[in-house]
């Protein structure tokens, strides 16, 4: 295993990281003991970073139980800010909620510290200085070792770095954006900004939320829907691109998953790619591709199918900034328009 440095933290992490959403019994593997075996096998293979979230059902509990006796050898990451109930204050990135949520995560994870504590989604309603101040206090208390953001626009990453320097606060050490052969928009600004500021990146969705597993073939969408797989298969452009990637993988003598994962970790701005496995077979299949390196010819062909810095379709969990989500922020009031 060739380990990489996580930003400027000095922490060494594996190029594959284990995403823990599928260990939640309500949405993934219903057997916590089986999830523990998967986690142990990943650790035995050299994967040393596990990423979960307080919003992933009982994932933190499953991970915490599985790590008994092995906690010191794991870079343990979790996240905060997604809603944890109907109470409007049980979400977001306010000091009030962060200080409560971190204690809950520590208890569920059965640990006295979190190696990487991340803001799961940007919180436009909370000043970034408020968030960084709370996170800085957690670092100073020893409960958290490093802090990060997730799906943060490049301009917000720059602002957070500037505020941290201006206010004498701890800065974000990492960013967790979506990235795959189908979704490459972070190459335009997010990855260059992260590299400029020495921010490590843990990319999620390297398999395109299942589209790059090889199970999705054009013309078979209805069959997969009936089987309960892949709810959103209506984008013909994405399916056309997947067919081209399948052909490319076959010519290269690789499973599509190995092509997709090798692409994700080939970018110099990417530290690790998160794999969200649900079964031991899923893990075994991905582990055999750990040493795959793509040639320039293959990377050039990927660039032809989906050009650098572009996207084909949008991931289900992609963050939409308020300016895009709220029409009132991009439309003048009717009275102003009528006057003009």
Q: Is residue 285 a contact partner of residue 256, using CB atoms and an 8 Å limit?
A: no
Note the helical H segments in the chain: 32-44, 59-66, 95-109, 128-141, 154-167, 190-197, 221-226, 236-252, 256-264, 280-287, 296-305, 322-325, 334-339
- Choosing from 16, 56, 117, 179, which is the catalytic residue? 56
309 token code pair: 């810095």
296 token code pair: 């320039």
Catalytic residue at 56? yes
Instruction: State the CB neighbour count (10 A cutoff) for residue 36.
Output: 18
Task: Show the beta-strand stretches assigned E in 172-269.
Answer: 174-176, 200-203
Calculate the CA 159 to chain-centre distance: 21
Instruction: State the CB neighbour count (10 A cutoff) for residue 261.
Output: 24
Q: Is residue 74 a contact partner of residue 114, using CB atoms and an 8 Å limit?
A: no
Catalytic residues: 56
């Amino acid at each position: 295993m060739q380990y990489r440095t996580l930003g400027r933290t000095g922490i060494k992490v594996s190029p594959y990281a284990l995403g823990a959403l599928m260990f939640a019994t309500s949405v993934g593997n219903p057997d916590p003991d089986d999830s523990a075996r998967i986690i142990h096998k990943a650790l035995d293979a050299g994967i040393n970073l596990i990423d979960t979230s307080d919003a992933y059902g009982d994932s933190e509990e499953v991970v915490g139980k599985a790590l008994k006796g092995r906690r010191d050898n794991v870079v343990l990451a979790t996240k905060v800010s997604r809603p944890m109930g109907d109470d409007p204050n049980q979400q977001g990135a306010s000091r009030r909620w962060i200080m409560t949520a971190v204690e809950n995560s520590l208890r569920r994870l059965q640990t006295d510290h979190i190696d990487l504590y991340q803001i799961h989604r940007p919180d436009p309603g909370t000043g970034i200085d408020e968030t960084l101040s709370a996170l800085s206090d957690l670092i100073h208390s020893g409960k958290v070792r490093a802090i990060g953001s997730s799906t943060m626009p490049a301009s917000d990453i720059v602002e957070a770095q500037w505020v941290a320097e201006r206010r004498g606060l701890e800065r974000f050490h990492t960013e967790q954006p979506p990235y795959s052969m189908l979704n490459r928009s972070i190459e335009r600004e997010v990855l260059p900004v992260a590299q400029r500021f020495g921010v490590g990146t843990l990319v999620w969705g390297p398999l395109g939320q299942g589209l790059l597993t090889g199970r999705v073939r054009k013309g078979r969408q209805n069959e997969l829907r009936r089987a309960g797989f892949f709810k959103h298969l209506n984008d013909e452009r994405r399916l056309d691109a997947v067919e081209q990637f399948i052909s490319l993988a076959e010519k290269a003598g690789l499973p599509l998953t190995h092509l997709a994962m090798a692409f994700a970790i080939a970018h110099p701005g990417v530290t690790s790619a998160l794999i969200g496995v649900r079964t031991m077979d899923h893990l075994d299949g991905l582990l055999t591709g750990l040493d795959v390196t793509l040639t320039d010819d293959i990377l050039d062909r990927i660039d032809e199918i989906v050009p650098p810095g572009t996207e084909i379709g949008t991931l289900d969990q992609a963050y939409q900034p308020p300016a895009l989500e709220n029409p009132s922020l991009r439309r003048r009031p009717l009275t102003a328009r009528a006057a003009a």
